[in-house]
Copies of this chain bind each other. A is one copy, B any other.
């Protein structure tokens, strides 16, 4: 359960951490902002401050439990770390997210970095568009 993951991450097992991790796990809609998590906690009558949510998410990130993403919405969103890198397709209308991994793109990126003698550290690829459901509506 959550307790084990938190312990293994080298963090003390506390109520806020267990709650937040479990919210991220249950959330079928992954990629939640700190505010989203906070609201979910409120709706569950949990007495956890927003600052704690940010603090815990940042600690989880440091521990490799979650990944922080920057979809240009002004706020960071978090998702459980699946262990495998992937990129995102994001609906600009409803926010739906589809994850993908394209070996060809990954390879080309490495080649491009090499061509410019850059030592690649990371990359962020986000494709924005309208999901199937949002295309019909205006």
Contact = CB atoms under 8 A, between A and B. Distances in A.
Contacts of A126: 123-124
Interface stretch (A2-10, A23-31, A42-50, A99-107): A99-107
Query: How many copies, total?
Result: 2
A101 to B, nearest CB: 10
Nearest to A132: B117
A135 interface: yes
A20 to B, nearest CB: 22
A99 to B, nearest CB: 10
Interface of A: 70, 72, 89, 91-92, 98, 100, 102, 104-105, 108-109, 112-113, 116-132, 135
11 contacts: A70-B70, A89-B112, A91-B118, A98-B116, A105-B105, A117-B135, A118-B131, A119-B130, A120-B128, A124-B125, A125-B125
